[in-house]
Amino acid sequence: MIEFDDVQLVDVSRHFGRRRAVSHVSLAARAGEVVGLLGPNGAGKSTIISMLATLVVPSAGDIRYGSMEDRRPPSSIRSRIGLLAHELHLYPDLTARQNLEFFARLHGLDPHERVDRALASAGLDDRGDEPVSGFSRGMRQRLALERALLHSPKLVLLDEPFTGLDDRAVGLVAGRLRTLAGAGAIVLLATHDLDLADGLISRMAVVRNGRLIADEAPGGGLRARYRELMAS
Amino acid sequence: MNFAAIAWLVLRKDLAIETRSWEIVSTTLFFAVSCVLIFAFAFVKEEAAPGAAADAAAGILWIAVAFAGTLALGRTFERERYGDTLKALLLAPAPRPAIYVGKLLGIVLLLAAAEALLVPLIALLFGAPFFSRPLILIGLLAAGTVGFGAVGTLFAAMLVRARTRDVLLPILLYPITVPVIIAGVRGTSALTASPVNENLALMWLAILTSFDVVFVTLALWTFEPLMTE
């Protein structure tokens, strides 16, 4: 199994045709950190997440997982990456249990205990045998988070993980992310919700027009600092 | 996990989803049978001698397979589009071509079911002697289906995020698979000819097999770079 304690983007750019989605971004995240990737719509946050998840190849620059510097990392690196994207990556026709069992097997894991644990973490242990199509957005979001964490990834990538969650579920997810970081995971969180990010993230990386304009500890008043950066 | 295990897992997942609704199987079979019935209304005349429309049977069989296959490809990948699950498959720590093979096997199985229905139906309606050399016919259908499915699965996966995928799929698919369809029609015609031209049918089977080798190899080679943006 590939082990790493940090992930780095080194002067990474990504163009889609003539459109520049990400431009010369350098950013590092270490084990135990919750890095908030902040920025307005279309800033390039999702492209950065997709590149880290190996779904998008950078047009220029390098992504380094620990000491690994391969531009096209081996498929085994994906066993250490968990992604909760804007779309939830769940099959609505399958039950919650079937979804989790499928993704556990896809990662080469014995599904039985893990799936029961994941259903309990999502608060869906009594609804595991119901099709996902009957779930509310919040229930799907919780299930999708457990799907992303099923294989105990080292690098946890989250794109708007709080969408559709009620206050109680937001608290549970935030607690889960803190626990993951405390256990040594690298958590990268792309979000618009500055109130939720405040107090959760240990570092903020602000992206605008594909460029990294700030990489700093949030300090007090995340929203005020963000507004200041956006206005500059 | 190894290549075969991932392909099997993807196939089994597709089967599990399908057995919940039978949506793709029923629409594909209904479409294929409707296609054959429309051709039967056009070509089979009450006053004509039995088997007079048999010459058209091979072409009708392959047209129905190609049209039904296009429908099945679109519907199968529509499921992966919803919830962007194709991305989740690509995130598996496994060789990405294994995902392609799993999807291809699902399409091949579906088209095999359609062919199992179409062959006796066309033989009955058109008086086509499809069963004179059953093993060669099975070989032609299997090789043709794999060739068509290999290209179709690759294109359907590539187009899954395109807004105009329903229009683009046939536009891209048919020109590339024309050699497969021609070889399938000519090979099957050789079996329905009187007398049966077994050597000609075997020659077309060999050509179809070589198309399969080329198409499957190219698809396995290009799937990962095409799916990684």
Q: What's the pLDDT tens digit per position in B120-157?
A: 999 999 888 888 899 999 999 999 999 999 999 999 99
- Topology (CATH level 3) of domain A31-51+75-231: Rossmann fold (3.40.50)
- The pair of structure tokens assigned to B105 is 């096997």
Mean pLDDT of A223-230: 80
Q: Which of B22, B13, B19 is nearest to A98 (CA)?
A: B13
Angle value at C-alpha B157, between B154 and B163, nearest 5 degrees: 130
Of A56, A83, A94, the CB nearest to B17: A94
β partners of residue A20: A15
How much is the pLDDT for A75?
Answer: 79
Find out whether A163 and A142 touch, Cβ atoms under 8 Å.
no
pLDDT digits (tens, 9 = 90+) for B72-85: 998 888 888 887 88
| B20 at interface of A, judged by CB pairs closer than 8 A | yes
pLDDT at A71: 64
Model confidence at A124: pLDDT above 70: yes
Touching check for B93 and chain A: CB below 8 Å?
Answer: yes
Dist. CA B221–CA A51, nearest whole Å: 21
| CB A122 within 8 Å of CB A146 | yes
Q: How far apart are CA B31 and CA A208, in angstroms?
A: 50
Helix axes B54-81, B3-21, angle to 10 degrees: 100
Cβ distance A55 to B93 less than 8 Å, yes or no, reads: no
The pLDDT score that the predictor gives to residue B135 is 95
Q: Tell me: the pLDDT tens digits for A57-111?
A: 899 999 998 877 666 677 788 889 999 988 889 999 999 999 999 999 998 888 8
Pairwise CB contact (< 8 Å): B82 & A92: yes
Peptide bond into B195 cis (omega under 30): yes
CA distance B159 to chain A (A): 16
Calculated CA dihedral for residues B6, B10, B16, B20, nearest 10 degrees: 160
Please report the ipTM that was assigned to this predicted complex. Answer: 0.86
| Cβ contact A150:A114 at 8 Å | yes
What average pLDDT score do residues A192-200 get?
82
Residue B86 has pLDDT above 90, yes or no: no
Cβ within 8 Å of B, A 83-112: 83, 85, 87-94, 98, 102-103, 105-108
In this structure, of B7-11, B33-37, B50-54, B222-226, the range with the lowest mean pLDDT score is B50-54
Domain boundaries, chain A: 31-51+75-231
For residues A188 and A190, give the distance between their C-alpha atoms in angstroms, rounded to a whole number.
7
Q: What pLDDT score does B187 carry? A: 95
Q: Determine the residue among A75, A110, A160 to mutate to test chain B binding: the one whose Cβ has the most chain B Cβ atoms within 10 Å.
A: A75
Query: B92 to each of A103, A113, B57, how far by Cα in Å?
Result: 8, 20, 44
Q: Report in angstroms the alpha-carbon separations of B46 from A51, A101, B41.
A: 64, 56, 10
Degrees, nearest 5: CA angle B215-A108-A64: 80
CA B18 to chain centre: 17
pLDDT of residue A133 exceeding 70, the answer is yes
Task: For residue A33, give how far its alpha carbon lies from the nearest alpha carbon of chain B (Å).
Answer: 23
Q: How far is B108 from chain A (nearest CA, A)?
A: 22
Torsion of the alpha carbons at B76, B82, B84 and B86, rounded to the nearest 10: -10
Structure tokens belonging to residue B7: 């392909």
Beta strands in A118-232 (DSSP E): 155-159, 186-191, 203-208, 211-216
Tokens of B125: 């309606």
List beta partners, residue A38: A191, A206
| Contact criterion met (CB below 8 Å) for A87 and A125 | no
The residue among B91, B224, B227 with the most chain A CBs within 10 A of its CB, best to mutate, is: B91
Please choose, from the candidates A38, A61, A59, A77, the residue with its C-alpha nearest in 3D space to the C-alpha of residue A158. Answer: A38
pLDDT of res. B52: 64
Q: Searching chain B, which residue's CA lies closest to the CA of residue A141? A: B83
Encoded tokens for A228: 């200041």
pLDDT of residue A191: 87
Residue A107: list chain B partners with CB under 8 A: 1, 92-93
How far apart are the CA of A229 and the nearest CA of chain B, in angstroms?
A: 31
Nearest chain B residue to A50, by CA: B229
Distances (CA, A) of B2 to A5, A75, A194, B7, B99: 27, 12, 43, 9, 11
**Any idea which of A42-46, A143-147, A168-172 has the lowest mean pLDDT?**
A168-172
Q: How many CB pairs under 8 A join A and B?
A: 79
- pLDDT tens column, B157-176: 988 878 888 889 999 999 99
Instruction: Check residue B118 and give its pLDDT.
Output: 95
**What's the confidence (pLDDT) of residue B50?**
63
The per-residue pLDDT for B180 is 95
Q: In the predicted model, what is the mean pLDDT of residues A216-225?
A: 78
Of A57, A79, A94, the CB nearest to B93: A79
**Gap from B102 CA to chain A (nearest CA, Å):** 12
Residue-averaged pLDDT of chain B: 90
pLDDT at A157 over 70: yes
Q: Which amino acid is at B80?
A: E
Give the largest Cα separation in chain B, rounded.
63
Whose tokens are 């609505």? That residue is A92
Residues near A101 by beta carbon (within 8 Å), at least 6 away in sequence = A111, A115
